[in-house]
Structure 1
Amino acid sequence: MQIPALSQTPLFPEITVNGAVIPSAAIAAEAQNHTAPKGKPGLAWRMAARALTIRKLLLEDAARRGIVATPMAVGPGLMETPDEAQIRALLEQAIAVTPPTEAELEAIWAKDPARFRSPPLWEASHILCAADPFDADATEGARLRAEAIHAQVTRDPKSFGKIARDASDCSSKANGGMLGQLVPGDAVPEFEAVLRDLAPGEMAATPVRTRFGWHVIRLDSRAETRELPFSAVRARLAEAAEKAGWTRAARDFTADLMKAADIRGVDLDIHQGQAG
């Protein structure tokens, strides 16, 4: 009895864009750059196929326009590829975004002024008992030392500065443990979480562990957030509005290229994903 040959149809086929083949291997490689829910590899493949299709169409359009571009630096020691440079030059030429008017910007701000607030500002002090987070014995020793310091400062709050100068493992010891003014992002999350809950002059109820070790933390003063006037946020609003406008224009531009293209091997939804 003859055994039927197994189908050789690939799970993810090649696609063609205006007659040019995008190999399934290239799509599979690109799919590694796209996340999809577990058990749905087809979604990552679809996203990869769409990204490579758009790239192909943008390069074709750049060639039709005769665009020549020189790669630019995009970071320390990093340069654009020739294709990336050509796509950038194409989008710079093809997409023009009208800057938002003053009235439009003010309307965005006036819709919900409470969204635009200054960050909180903290003045804090700490005493650090440093420890390697991967050394269990050192971490335990630092915890015990921090608890002893915490108990000592609790008995005599005025001794905080002196103990910091004598015992802290942070360079702030020279200032009695004072860290100066802090805003969100200046300290590690565990440290900031404590500052958010303390009242001015209050010390954390227990030492706090971070990747640096154990901290005895005191909040010295706090400036609360406040609503910012339009003048203070205008530049930020203008930048965000122009970026949003450029994103919409780029999406529409690539959607038009896809509508006009002969794409075979996959059904791509032109209303999803991002340009470039």
Structure 2
Amino acid sequence: MTRQLDVINIGAPADPRPEPAMPSACETHGCGGADEPMQPLPAFGIVTVDGHEITAEQIAEEMPHHPAPTGEEAWRAAAQALVVRHLLMREARSRGLAAEETNETGKRTADDEGLVKALLDDIVGDAIPTEAECKRYYSANRHRFRTPTLYEASHILIEPEEGAGEDGWTAAEAQTRTIIDAVADDPEAFAEAAREFSGCPSGQQNGSLGQIRRGELVEQVQSHIEATVVGSVNPAPVRSKHGWHVIRLDRIIEGRELPFEVAKDKIADLLEARSWTVSAMQIVQSLAEKAEIEGVVLDAPPSEEDQRQGTLAA
């Protein structure tokens, strides 16, 4: 298993997931601000580890790697990361460890990253789970090892006239209802109407959205697809931020449970990653407890149960 080893952030929040978007015409947004003056970076005091100062310049350089709602939060996260890195590198040097020349892909590693990796590999090693452990996990979490349910659907997008306000939306809805009455459940008539009227590029493919899984479309449209009878056009249109949609559902391919033999490699990776991460965090906490750290407080590492839940959610 390949381990991403940038720096261990204790108690760092998970990255937000992007909001799913409806396939539609490209939306171009201009990017400005190239000439805007850079705002001064905050400084919140001196940070030291056993008398060794983590300088304001080092923290400022680290801050872009820790985006946060406020400058103070970004500063704190950067300072924590640098303290953790210093503790790990100091311990690695005290053990006489050396950074490897290359990583697993053959690319040279930075000295500090190599030292940290060497230390954690030396202390933690590999915690490869047994097949019995993997089977127990599989038995308790069968619902997590399923192929997704797929929906083969098509749509016709009627966009409101630009600048027409709510009247434009009302007219677009009326047009979708006219289309629904005209095409009924005839797939050929639906395909022809999609090519003629749809404002989505999918119109040129008879309105086909292909095989869709939950989470790939905006919620309103996905829910409407799932409420449609297979082989028919939904008798009501649905509104999204892009316009009004006529929905046709052609097929549902139900998800199926994966056998253990197919899932076991993924389970082994999950269990190994959980064990390795918990052990690494415990090492950091142990080193922090023995050091005199001023200027920033390291968050307590999550418990093994919290880490387990986080791994499952991933």
Normalising by the residue count of structure 2, what TM-score does the alignment of the two structures yield? Answer: 0.64
RMSD of aligned alpha carbons: 4.0
Determine the structure 2 residue equivalent to 1:104. 133
Determine the structure 1 residue equivalent to 2:178. 151
Residue type of the partner of 1:17? V
Residue 256, structure 1, aligned to residue 286, structure 2: yes
Return the match for 2:124 from 95, 99, 105. Answer: 95
Q: Deviations over 1:145-171 (max 9, x none)?
A: 453133232344123222112222334
Residue type of the partner of 1:18? D
How far is 1:100 from its partner? Answer: 1.0
- Kept after mapping to 1: 8 A contact 2:146/2:255: yes
How far is 1:222 from its partner? Answer: 1.5
How far is 1:215 from its partner? Answer: 2.2
Is the alpha carbon distance of 1:161 and 1:250 closer, same or farther for their aligned partners in structure 2, counting shifts above 3 Å? same
Distance 2:68 2:86 in 1: 21
Alignment gaps of 5+ in structure 1 = 1-10
Partner SS for 1:214: strand
Is the alpha carbon distance of 1:125 and 1:49 closer, same or farther for their aligned partners in structure 2, counting shifts above 3 Å? same
Return the match for 1:176 from 206, 218, 223. Answer: 206
Q: Deviations over 1:8-29 (max 9, x none)?
A: xxx9542321320224676688
Distance 2:294 2:128 in 1: 38
Residue 123, structure 1, aligned to residue 152, structure 2: yes
Residue type of the partner of 1:127? I
Determine the structure 2 residue equivalent to 1:15. 47
Distance 1:185 1:54 in 2: 37
After the TM superposition, which of the residue ranges 201-210 and 264-273 deviates more from structure 2? Answer: 264-273
Determine the structure 1 residue equivalent to 2:7. none
Partner SS for 1:219: strand
Determine the structure 1 residue equivalent to 2:234. 203
Residue type of the partner of 1:249? S
Residue type of the partner of 2:47? I
- Kept after mapping to 2: 8 A contact 1:125/1:219: yes
Alignment gaps of 5+ in structure 2 = 1-42, 308-314
How far is 1:265 from its partner? Answer: 5.2
- Kept after mapping to 2: 8 A contact 1:194/1:204: no
- Kept after mapping to 1: 8 A contact 2:173/2:244: yes
After the TM superposition, which of the residue ranges 103-112 and 157-166 deviates more from structure 2? Answer: 157-166
Partner SS for 1:60: helix
Residue type of the partner of 1:151? T
How far is 1:130 from its partner? Answer: 4.5
- Kept after mapping to 1: 8 A contact 2:99/2:112: no
Partner SS for 1:21: strand
Residue type of the partner of 1:16? T
Determine the structure 2 residue equivalent to 1:6. none
Determine the structure 1 residue equivalent to 2:222. 192
Distance 2:274 2:206 in 1: 47
Is the alpha carbon distance of 1:268 and 1:68 closer, same or farther for their aligned partners in structure 2, counting shifts above 3 Å? closer
Q: Deviations over 1:73-118 (max 9, x none)?
A: 99xxxx9765345434543444312211111111011124234333
- Kept after mapping to 2: 8 A contact 1:73/1:80: no
Residue type of the partner of 2:50? N
Is the alpha carbon distance of 1:107 and 1:152 closer, same or farther for their aligned partners in structure 2, counting shifts above 3 Å? same
- Kept after mapping to 2: 8 A contact 1:123/1:181: yes
Partner SS for 2:152: strand
Is the alpha carbon distance of 1:202 and 1:103 closer, same or farther for their aligned partners in structure 2, counting shifts above 3 Å? farther
Determine the structure 2 residue equivalent to 1:161. 191
Is the alpha carbon distance of 1:102 and 1:173 closer, same or farther for their aligned partners in structure 2, counting shifts above 3 Å? same
Give aligned pairs, total.
Answer: 255
- Kept after mapping to 2: 8 A contact 1:191/1:210: no
Determine the structure 2 residue equivalent to 1:59. 89
Distance 1:137 1:250 in 2: 59
After the TM superposition, which of the residue ranges 138-147 and 52-61 deviates more from structure 2? Answer: 138-147
Is the alpha carbon distance of 1:214 and 1:87 closer, same or farther for their aligned partners in structure 2, counting shifts above 3 Å? farther
Distance 2:291 2:103 in 1: 29
Report which of the two structures shows the higher radius of gyration computed on alpha carbons.
Answer: 1
- Kept after mapping to 1: 8 A contact 2:149/2:213: yes
